[in-house]
Amino acid sequence: MGGHTVEEIKKEVRVYITVFVSLLVLSIATVLVSKLDVSMTVAVIIGMAIASLKGTLVACYFMHLISEKKAIYAVLIITVLFFAVLMALPLMDYQSNEAFTGRA
Amino acid sequence: MSAPVIRYIDEPHPVTGVTNGKFGLWLFLASEVMLFGALFSSYILLRVGAKSWPDGWERLNVPLATANTVVLITSSVTMVMAWVGCKLNDLGKFRFYMGITVALSFVFLVIKTIEYKPKFEHYQVYFYDGATIPGYEELTTITGHLEEDDFEKDYIVFAPDKKQPSQTLPDAEGHGDHDHAEGDHDDHGHGHYADPIQINRYDIKRLTNFGPAHSNFYAIYFTMTGLHGLHVIGGIVVNLYFLLFGAGMFRSNIAQFSNRIECAGLYWHFVDLVWIFLFPSIYLL
Complex ipTM > 0.90:
no
Residue A39 lies in a domain: yes
Task: Note whether B15 contacts A90, CB cutoff 8 Å.
Answer: no
Q: Kindly report the CATH class assigned to B20-48+62-118+215-284.
A: mainly alpha
Shortest Cα–Cα distance, A53 to chain B (Å): 10
**Can you give the residue ranges of every domain in chain B?**
20-48+62-118+215-284, 120-209
Q: Does A77 touch chain B (CB under 8 A)?
A: no
In a domain, A44, yes or no: yes
> What is the mean pLDDT of each successive set of 10 residues along chain B, which is 285 residues long?
74 88 95 96 90 90 96 97 94 96 98 96 90 83 91 91 63 38 46 86 92 94 97 97 88 90 96 96 93
**Residue A48 buriedness (CB in 10 A; 0-12 / 13-18 / 19+):** middle
* Mean pLDDT, residues A6-14: 89
- Nearest chain B Cα distance for residue A96, angstroms: 12
Query: Which CATH code fits B120-209?
Result: 2.30.30
The residue of chain B with its CA nearest to that of A69 is: B17
Closest CA to B182 of B61, B81, B94: B61
Q: Given this chain, do its domains B20-48+62-118+215-284 and B120-209 carry the same CATH topology? A: no
Predicted confidence at residue A24, as pLDDT, reads 96
Give the one of A12, A47, A86 whose C-beta lies nearest to B280's C-beta: A47
Domain range for A82 = 6-101
Number of domains in chain A: 1
Residues contacting B85, CB < 8 A, separation 6+: B91, B92, B93, B94, B95, B96, B97, B98
Cα–Cα distances (Å) from B45 to A89, B38, B220, in that order, read: 8, 10, 11
- Has residue A30 been placed in a domain? yes
Give A23-49 pLDDT, tens digit per residue. Answer: 999 999 999 998 888 888 899 999 999
Beta-carbon separation of B30 and A75 below 8 A: yes
Residue A34 lies in a domain: yes
Residue of A23, A71, A97 with shortest CB distance to B17: A71
Residue among B70, B273, B280 minimizing CB distance to A58: B273
Question: What are the chain B neighbours of A86 within 8 Å (beta carbons)?
Answer: 34, 37-38, 40-41
- Read off the pLDDT of each residue in A57-61 and give the average, rounded to a whole number: 95
